[in-house]
Amino acid sequence: MPSKAVLLADTLLKQDEILSELLDNTLKQREALKGGRLSVLQDLMSGLRHVSVRCQAIETKRTRSAEDLSRDLGCAAVVSDIVSALRAAGAERADEAQLIEDSAKKMMETVKKLKMEMAILARLMEEAKTLNEMLISEWQKLGQKFLGVGAMGTFDTRI
């Protein structure tokens, strides 16, 4: 059976894999939004819900693994503290420390990319919302002007 440190490293790598799926979905959403492909965007949102559930599950597993290992090491359930404690435990645990550190770095790189893409997507969605509100307002003004709609929503029949 793998050590608790190896289990934590494996969990970090699995979390990175799932977050990479989320990143891919986010990139596809941005392209669909830019292209105005609503049906594609709806499918991607459905897929996003599935990936989100997996993200929550792996986050719970990672938290448990980190807490379990940190209890054994007598440190906080934080990667930097776990890595330091493993290195302090001696040369035989240095490989485990490096494995966890590398896995965490890989995951954090993916998180950084994901945050950037989500910020871009949020801005695009806000711009789309603003544009839609402007278009609706202009259509309402045009309708009132050309159809003679009065203040009460009735038609002005005067010629």
**Domains held by the chain: number:** 1
pLDDT tens per residue across all 159 residues of the chain? 679 999 999 999 999 999 999 999 988 988 887 777 778 888 888 888 899 999 999 999 999 999 999 999 999 999 999 999 999 988 889 999 999 999 999 999 999 999 999 898 888 888 878 888 888 888 888 777 776 655 555 555 555
Q: Tell me, yes or no, whether 36 lies in a domain.
A: yes
Q: Tell me, yes or no, whether 87 lies in a domain.
A: yes
For residues 87 and 97, the answer to whether their CB atoms sit within 8 Å is yes
For residues 114 and 23, the answer to whether their CB atoms sit within 8 Å is yes
Contacts of 30 (CB under 8 A, 6+ apart): 117, 120, 121, 124
**Residue 31 structural domain:** 4-117
Q: Tell me, yes or no, whether 14 lies in a domain.
A: yes
Longest dimension (CA), the chain: 94
CATH code: domain of residue 94: 1.20.58
Q: Tell me, yes or no, whether 91 lies in a domain.
A: yes
Helix H or strand E segment including 75: none
Q: Tell me, yes or no, whether 126 lies in a domain.
A: no
